[in-house]
Chains A and B, each alone.
Chain A
Amino acid sequence: MAEARLFAKTYSDVAYVEGMYRRDPVMERALHKHCKQYFDENYRGVFFVGDEHKTEIFQESFITLWEKIEKRKIYVEDGILKGKDGSPFTGKLTTYFMGIAKLKFKEWVRDRHTGQDAEDEEKKRKAKDAEIYKEMLYDEGENAMLEIISDCISHMSERCCQILTLFYYKEKSLDDIMLELPTFKSKNALKTEKYKCMENLRKSAQEIYHRYLNA
């Protein structure tokens, strides 16, 4: 077990997906390494980004792939790897992963260059991407909103990310969060900030929902 943990091997796409779905730690790590190696070797052919942001895009893409497997958006049936609407995968898992990475890169660029493009150009681009986003990132299934919220969290400000992580992931009380984030002088200020973060997140999620899924 220790040997496998230290030296991840390469497995078939079916084994990776099945292992990830079963939450096998060895397979989780192995797929991470497999995707990382593929990403490092190929990302320059897909987009150009510095080392620091490359890691960020890789992490976001891998989380999306992982959640898709967890939610059975990608799954194994009768030894065959299947995706949306139960149709078999035609390409490799790593190719699919790079597709997600490409979209994450587009999101990353948009987050940093809002207002720089002409309005009509932006509209055209959004319309073109809408179908791809619908295909790869957001499905019209019952958990669509959860999927969109997961994506929106990755675009939140550092501040909001800290507050919501401490509150909902680490389950800390507002008093304890104030000790970790001393810039908040009162509990009410922190509570208001948390509420604003949630409100903004909800607005973004609803906007995406209507743009891509009700388009």
Chain B
Amino acid sequence: MKIEYQDHIDDYLLGRMSDEDSKVFEQELKNDDELREQMEFTKDLQTATKSRNEKLAKMREWEDDYEWEDDRRGKRQYLYWISGIAAIFIVGFFLIHNYMGGKEDMMFNPSSIEYSTMRGGGNYENIEKLLVDKNYEDAMKQIEIEETKIAGQRTATDSIADEERRAYDRMLIQEKADELSWMKVYALLGADRRDDALQLLDELRHTEGEYKEKADSLYLIICK
């Protein structure tokens, strides 16, 4: 293998040679066995490199898809668990309310509310703690920070090419946004901003989702 041949071979194979030079080179190939052999080897190398890399790229894409599918399956199962537990609590609440203590007037006290913020993860637990500690102003600030993050995530979904995946991601983001709004209602009530809280509750009770019915009940209780 001669290093001085390689430049010409590469230029020829990669289409970087003029028509005139190509014709001269093809003539040289006919007359020089060593050049021809080196050319064949380079051609095989080019074919093998292309084939390998194209396959690796596809395989990486599939691996990413499998990971996403597994992740989605995991999230779905998680949501089913949460929904199941929530359903048990709701049924239990109505049973207790109707048969045992339904006649008492309900007094609303934001700091006594327990939140189901499991889906929010660590950040929302902080907000929950601030609300329980009656630190409504800080809770409000934290909620606004999270709302900004969510707005960023919402914009980022525009670049997802896969339609199904984009819709799924947007659904999760909307759920997070509703959860934050729900917490914000408590923070506003705690901070004596009743009108703002009612306005937000009114929006929530007209939005399809997990908090629609809860927001409607709370709205009616407060307005009573």
Chain A interface (Cβ within 8 Å of chain B)?
Answer: 2, 5-7, 28-29, 32-33, 36, 59, 62-63, 66-67, 70, 145-146, 149-150, 153-154, 164-165, 167-169, 171, 191-192, 195, 198-199, 201-202, 205
Contact = CB atoms under 8 A, between A and B. Distances in A.
B171 interface: no
B78 interface: no
Contacts of A169: 49-50, 53-54
B56 A63 contact: yes
Interface string B142-175: 0000000000000000000011100000000000
A165 B65 contact: no
Interface residues on B, range: 20 to 34
Contacts of A59: 56, 59
Given A2-B163, A28-B58, A33 B49 contact: no
Scoring A7, A29, A33, A169 by chain B CB atoms within 10 A of each residue's CB, the highest score goes to: A169
B55 A2 contact: no
Contacts of A29: 58, 62, 65
A2 B55 CA distance: 20
Given A6-B69, A28-B58, A202-B1, A165 B53 contact: yes
Nearest to B48: A150
Given A67-B51, A146-B44, A198-B6, 7 more contacts: A6-B65, A7-B69, A59-B59, A146-B48, A169-B49, A169-B54, A205-B41
A146 B1 contact: no
A149 B52 CA distance: 11
B55 A198 contact: no
Contacts of B52: 63, 150, 153-154
Interface of B: 1, 3, 6-7, 10, 14, 40-42, 44-56, 58-59, 62, 65-66, 69, 162-164
A168 B62 contact: no
Which DSSP category, helix, strand, loop or mixed, fits chain A's interface?
helix
**6 A-B pairs with the lowest CB-CB distances in the bound complex, closest first:** A150-B48, A169-B53, A168-B49, A168-B46, A146-B44, A149-B48
A32 B65 contact: no
B179 to A, nearest CB: 28
Contact of B55 (A5, A66, A191): A66
Nearest to B13: A168
B8 to A, nearest CB: 13
Nearest to B54: A169
B51 A33 contact: no
B62 A149 contact: no
Contacts of A63: 52, 55-56, 59
A190 B140 CA distance: 59
B6 A165 contact: no
A6 B175 CA distance: 24
29 contacts: A6-B164, A7-B69, A32-B59, A33-B66, A36-B66, A59-B56, A59-B59, A62-B55, A63-B56, A63-B59, A67-B51, A70-B51, A145-B40, A145-B41, A145-B44, A146-B47, A149-B41, A149-B45, A150-B51, A153-B52, A165-B49, A168-B45, A169-B50, A171-B14, A195-B1, A195-B6, A198-B1, A198-B41, A202-B41
Nearest to B72: A6
Nearest to A150: B48
A198 B42 contact: yes
A208 B1 CA distance: 18
A164 B59 contact: no
A202 B40 CA distance: 11
B81 to A, nearest CB: 23
A6 B67 CA distance: 11
Contacts of B54: 169
A176 B66 CA distance: 34
